Amino acid sequence: MTDGGDHGDHHEEHGSELSEMQLRVRALETVLAEKGYLDPAALDLMIEAYETRIGPHNGARVVARAWIDAAFRSALIEDATKAVQSFGLINRVGDHLIAVENTPTLHNMIVCTLCSCYPWEVLGLPPVWYKSAPYRSRAVNDPRGVLADFGLTLAPDTQIRVWDSTAETRFIVLPMRPAGTDGWSEEKLAALVTRDCMIGTGLPKQPNEVA
Ligand code: FE
């Protein structure tokens, strides 16, 4: 909005509470609907899905299930797209999901060096830093440095493998199950699974970090 900066917020001067961007989006939506390119009801469903149903809690359930169910874990590594379908998640047409598993000697990390490709169906909307130029370039050139910025220091002999997402291929990291969680339910385990540990810029929470 091109209001005079000295005079504070003038969003109300046109009798509208909407920002310029919101007005533009609304205008575009109206034109597309009038021309028949867009079904407003379908759009509402998509927006509702992204606001309420889609988020990293889905990926957390997938990871927790893999931790307790060896057959599911194998299916996930084999074909993650197919394995997560059993969760009834919204699968974006054309996306191929690949699960990469951390081990005591291998740490996986995901990036999209070109733009911001991200496994929406399991992680929701990407964090701002994921789309930033520094993350996108440094994740490849200096993954250990990036992990240090996130407060994550791995053993020196742990290999770091960086996976570059594309429009067709998305990745989710399957982190190692924290020690001291024997006998935990899937729901309780899912509470340990953070968004960042599924991107590879973090680790799951420890048992003493959750109630
Ligand atoms: Fe991208």
pLDDT per residue, tens digit, the chain (211 aa), is 344 444 444 444 555 678 888 889 889 888 988 888 888 888 888 778 777 788 899 999 999 999 999 999 999 999 999 999 888 776 666 679 999 999 999 999 999 999 889 998 899 889 999 999 999 999 999 999 999 999 999 999 999 999 999 878 999 999 999 999 999 999 999 999 999 999 999 999 999 998 6
Q: How many domains does the chain have?
A: 1
Q: Is the residue at 10 inside a domain?
A: no
Distance 112 CA to ligand 1 centre (A): 5
Domain that holds residue 79: 56-209
pLDDT value, residue 4 = 40
pLDDT value, residue 16 = 63
Q: What does the alpha-carbon distance between residue 52 and residue 123 come to, in Å, rounded to a whole number? A: 13
Q: Is the residue at 116 inside a domain?
A: yes
Distance 210 CA to ligand 1 centre (A): 33
Q: Is the residue at 26 inside a domain?
A: no
Task: Give the CATH number for residue 166.
Answer: 3.90.330.10
User: In the annotation, is 117 catalytic?
Assistant: yes
- Per the structure block, which two tokens stand in for 124? 């929701």
pLDDT value, residue 1 = 39
Residue 132 half-sphere exposure toward CB, CA atoms < 13 A: 9
Q: Is the residue at 171 inside a domain?
A: yes
Q: Is the residue at 180 inside a domain?
A: yes
pLDDT value, residue 25 = 87
Q: Is the residue at 42 inside a domain?
A: no
User: In the annotation, is 112 catalytic?
Assistant: yes
User: In the annotation, is 115 catalytic?
Assistant: yes
Q: Is the pTM of this model over 0.85?
A: no
Active-site residue (options: 16, 19, 74, 115): 115
Q: Is the residue at 84 inside a domain?
A: yes
Distance 128 CA to ligand 1 centre (A): 13
Distance 14 CA to ligand 1 centre (A): 37
pLDDT value, residue 91 = 65
User: In the annotation, is 197 catalytic?
Assistant: no
Distance 174 CA to ligand 1 centre (A): 21
Q: Is the residue at 79 inside a domain?
A: yes
pLDDT value, residue 120 = 87
